[in-house]
Amino acid sequence: MDTVSQKVPRPQIRQTDCFIGGKWIPSASGKIFETIHPATEEVIAQVAEGDKEDIDLAVDAARGQFDGGEWSRLDARERGQLMFKLADLLEEHADELAALETLDNGKPVKDARAADIPLVIDCIRYYAGWADKIQGDTIPIRGDYFCYTQREPVGVVGQIIPWNFPALMVAWKWGPALAAGCTIVMKPAEQTPLSCLRMARLAQQAGIPDGVINVVPGYGPTAGAALVRHPGVDKIAFTGELATAKIIQREAADTMKRLTFELGGKSPNVVFADADLEAAAAGAHLGLYFNQGQCCCAGSRLFVESKVHDELVERLVEKNKQQVIGDPFDPATEQGPQVDEAQFDKILDYVGYGKQDGAQCVTGGKRFGNQGYFVEPTLFTGVTDDMRIAKDEIFGPVLSVLRFDDVDEIARRANDTNFGLAAAVWSRDIGKAHRFASQLRAGTVWVNCYDVFDAAAPFGGFKQSGLGRELGEAGLAAYTESKTVTIAVS
């Protein structure tokens, strides 16, 4: 794990324009938007605000590059080598990228350096290794024919990402797309465009040909929507809110684009009485409060068997009291601000709903300090399944603790949501944990751990938490089309 021991200096911001066809250019309209540092609310950069015209240019560049075949038909090993080079450059710039992430998103630099950026590098390396291992099958069909399948890149992909893990979402999207031989138009989130633009520059330095990666910063309903509607785009990969995904699904129907979605969650984290309680408390704390609670897989419904409820809550309260909140550039800081005012307001609204609905606010529940979008780590007990804080995704440091006695009922309660992204179970009885894992309707189940991510392990949602999978071989497959070739051999 990479650690940070001293206060990290603010990084220089180098790229703020659109990156199209290998060139850095202002938006066609000349418009810009501001991005802020959420710990101080100060403006840190003015970024080109792309719209339809810029998307058109970027899609032309990606389409030209794809159809020209320089990238998609490049020797697969060479494609992999260029990706390895990119991973090396990301590693060389890891401190700078982590600091950029902290500046734009507000996350503690300790986390950005120990988690986000190492995962970024690993993801690009993992998929670099796949570039020359994408193969089809031979199929024994009837008659005098030789039949085989080959996997080809899906084409030009539009990638729309959120602000909670800005650089990591770039890696999850670029890795499989580049390995498969696709070309890319990416729209980063308007709150956090900086690390994506920096990574595009590093990709250029790595020698990835012009037009393979294009980045258009801007807003969702303008730049994002233009990308979704563009007939020259073959696939949209989106991570964000369910409501946005529904708009995208409708908009993409006209051109029958391939879609992958990674959306929200209200993930159940279930602690049985026979669990290692310290491990469960640490896992529950990490599972919800990591990244200021801004994780789509956050374990926001903590179900605790009654017998151990009070003891577990006590341990969690203690952890919340000890949580170091403050300047995210300070390496001692464990919790930074929420990303922006809208998120901050929404979280405090939900704290109000929790109180109105009769839950007990045991820790937190208010703003921390008087500058920046900090929210105290908040814990509600006495939460019941029907309360708004137990049903809706809050995307902040607000944990709902629910009790259970009936072990047979708990799978039903855990599954009683339209989401199905992740879940966790804590028990020393591995047979019970296995049985329970098989009953959960979720794309990821962690047993006696939480938030364990690996580029090789597929991630995605059941139900309304998503469509398709990212990471692993499944994530790569989503960037390919299968072609069946049948040859008469008589």
Q: Are 171 and 195 in contact (CB under 8 A)?
A: no
Residue 445, token pair as written in the block: 């189940």
Closest-approach residue to ligand ADP (CB)? 220
Would you say 182 or 228 has its CB closer to ligand ADP?
A: 228
Would you say 182 or 248 has its CB closer to ligand ADP?
A: 248
Assign 3-class secondary structure to 257-314. CEEEEECCCCCEEEECCCCCHHHHHHHHHHHHHHHHHCCCCCCCEEEEEHHHHHHHHH
Decide if 296 is catalytic: yes
Residue 235 CB coordination number (10 Å): 21
The SS3 call for residue 367 is: strand
- Minimum CB separation of residue 359 from ligand ADP in Å reads 24
Would you say 65 or 244 has its CB closer to ligand ADP?
A: 244
Would you say 163 or 165 has its CB closer to ligand ADP?
A: 163
- Minimum CB separation of residue 221 from ligand ADP in Å reads 5
Would you say 244 or 300 has its CB closer to ligand ADP?
A: 244
Residue 358, token pair as written in the block: 């009769």
- Minimum CB separation of residue 220 from ligand ADP in Å reads 2
Q: Which of 296, 305, 334, 361 is catalytic?
A: 296
Residue 316, token pair as written in the block: 């969690």
Q: How far is CA 310 from the centre of its chain?
A: 33
Residue 28 CB coordination number (10 Å): 17
Residue 21, token pair as written in the block: 């066809």
Q: Are 415 and 263 in contact (CB under 8 A)?
A: no
- Minimum CB separation of residue 149 from ligand ADP in Å reads 33
- Minimum CB separation of residue 348 from ligand ADP in Å reads 16
Give the C-alpha separation, 252 to 13, whole Å: 34
Would you say 222 or 269 has its CB closer to ligand ADP?
A: 222
* Binding stretches for ligand ADP (CB under 6 A): 160-163, 187, 189-190, 219-221, 224-225, 228, 240-241, 244, 247-248
Residue 109, token pair as written in the block: 């630099």
Q: Which of 96, 101, 262, 470 is catalytic?
A: 262
- Minimum CB separation of residue 250 from ligand ADP in Å reads 10
- Which of the 8 DSSP states describes residue 182? -
Decide if 92 is catalytic: no
Return the closest-CA partner of residue 34 out of 194, 224, 201.
194
Active site residues: 262, 296
